[in-house]
Amino acid sequence: MQRTSGLLLHLTSLPGRFGIGDLGAESRRFIDFLAAAGQRWWQLLPINPTGYGNSPYSAFSAFAGNPLLISPDELAAAGDLDEDDLAAWRLAPEHTDYGHAWRCRRQLLPQAAGRFFRQAGKARKATFDTFCAEQAFWLNDYALFQALREHFGNRDWTRWPEPIRDRREEALRNWGERLAGRILQLKYEQFVFFEQWRKLKKHAGRHGIGLFGDMPIFVALDSADVWCNRPLFRLDGQGQPTAVAGVPPDYFSERGQRWGTPLYDWPAHQAQDFSWWKARLRWNLQLFELLRIDHFRGFAACWVIPADSEDATGGAWEQVPGDRLFRSLTDELGVLPLVAEDLGIITDDVTALKRRWGWPGMKVLQFAFDSGPDNPYLPHNHEENCVVYTGTHDNDTTLGWWQKLDGHARNRVRSYLMRSCRDMPRELIREAMASVARLCILPVQDILALPSTARMNRPGAPSGNWTWRLPDDALTDALASELRRLTERYGRLA
């Protein structure tokens, strides 16, 4: 990997006119800023359809795109809506308004689908048919799953009537016929999502910007993936997990994190030569040039929590056949452009697994100053094959982090950096840019020197996350020039 840098910003955080950032003009405007600032990468959070809590790490599908990210403006430009259709839905709140975004798309997307099927030209309809055929391996199940979920009052699939819960052939056929109209609309939603994604990706490519994605290791219980692939997960006869995933107590949570996601039945995956994983990686690598694997340590061993435990403290480690999985994936897909999220409790087996496959790990500078000189996050302990961050979406902003440090902790930072740190977060940004790490990623909140109110996520907090939005006109030409000079100074110009 060439020595480069980039910015971290989720699509929902972009400015926009319909309650949430989306795949419209503002996403291309952000790419223009990245190019002007000498950056090479745009790192995003997962782009899959989210449910309760709006976490991008808990999705209804590991393959589908989030319909809330579909741009109504782009639908109008494609002829599927009129400008008059959009007027009542224009809203640009300071924070993401998921309720408004959902109501807007719930009204406009079926309307756009109806016009598409009535009026679209032959070429675009043929493109739709091709998309449905090529993506049938996930699209058919996803569209049926979502149509059923809506029909049953948004109840999770384990609470559906037993014949369809258990995917009996006659029930699948009957429900597929009964909900055929809605299923077609849902396929249209995915078609236009990825139509808009391809436009974004093409714009990024023209400007030399790579899209850096994020893939959670686990999938939600209430997802098309689990409903359609029950033998691949550790579930009981009613579809309930026999144990769930999480992490033990760490920096982020003193009682650990109980994610509640079902665990993989690894022998079942191995018996299928990891075909589900191959399909998942193949699809993601069509969307992104680089892909972060969240919770990489779960490929060496995962924290298994009894399903009836209220928190993660009663869990235990279980080994995972990571090497066999990665061998099968690379035999099928070739060299995998992955980044291993190796934060938290990292044991020697996790480090060895990462190094055997040659993937870079992550170094977060906010973690660097709470122990001695052997702290692996301190810049003098970095290696070239890693990605350095000031902080991630799970951290406070760097300014917020600095403001919360006590006097002793601030003195440790000053002593190491040999600076007064009156200009935080710029001091930490410079330290990240100067690192030997080949890739440096900065959260947009840090280049704007924003306080804790701009934090994206507080792990373990049940609400209030994923709502920060970039203020209009915050990314100025002057800021792009300043960031470009810094990028050039430390040898990271793309």
pLDDT tens per residue, range 287-303: 999 999 999 999 999 99
Residue 236 phi/psi, 5-degree rounding, is -90, -175
Mean pLDDT of 127-148: 99
pLDDT over 70 at 54, yes or no: yes
For residue 481, name the pLDDT band (cuts at 50, 70, 90).
very high
Mean pLDDT of 3-25: 98
Strands, sheet with 257-262, edge to edge from the N-terminal-most edge strand: 257-262, 243-247, 301-306, 316-319
According to the model, what pLDDT value does residue 123 have?
97
Q: Which residues are catalytic?
A: 294, 341, 394
Mean pLDDT of 93-113: 97
**Of 366, 351, 356, 360, whose CA–CA distance to 384 is shortest?**
360
DSSP per-residue string spanning 64-80: S--GGGS-HHHHHHTTS
* Residue 276 · residue 332 · CB < 8 Å: no
Residues with Cβ within 8 Å of residue 349, at least 6 apart in sequence: 300, 301
pLDDT over 80 at 406, yes or no: yes
Distance CA 116, CA 120 (A): 5
Residue 318 phi/psi, 5-degree rounding, is -130, 140
According to the model, what pLDDT value does residue 114 have?
98
According to the model, what pLDDT value does residue 221 have?
97
Q: Is 298 exposed, middle or buried (0-12, 13-18, 19+ CB in 10 A)?
A: buried
* Chain CA centroid to CA 224, Å: 18
The whole model's pTM is what? 0.97
Instruction: Give the domain ranges of the chain.
Output: 4-489
pLDDT over 70 at 252, yes or no: no
Residue 382 in tokens: 């970095």
Q: What is the pLDDT of residues 172-200, one digit of tens each?
A: 999 999 999 999 999 999 999 999 999 99
Q: What is the pLDDT of residues 352-405, one digit of tens each?
A: 999 999 999 999 999 999 999 999 999 999 999 999 999 999 999 999 999 999
pLDDT over 80 at 50, yes or no: yes
* Residue 397 · residue 425 · CB < 8 Å: yes
Mean pLDDT of 62-79: 99
Distance CA 180, CA 196 (A): 25
Residues with Cβ within 8 Å of residue 224, at least 6 apart in sequence: 60, 61, 64, 138, 141, 142, 145, 146
4-489 fold:
TIM Barrel (3.20.20)
Beta-sheet pairing, 316-319 with 301-306: antiparallel
Q: Residue 425, preceding bond cis, omega within 30 degrees?
A: yes
Distance CA 334, CA 327 (A): 10
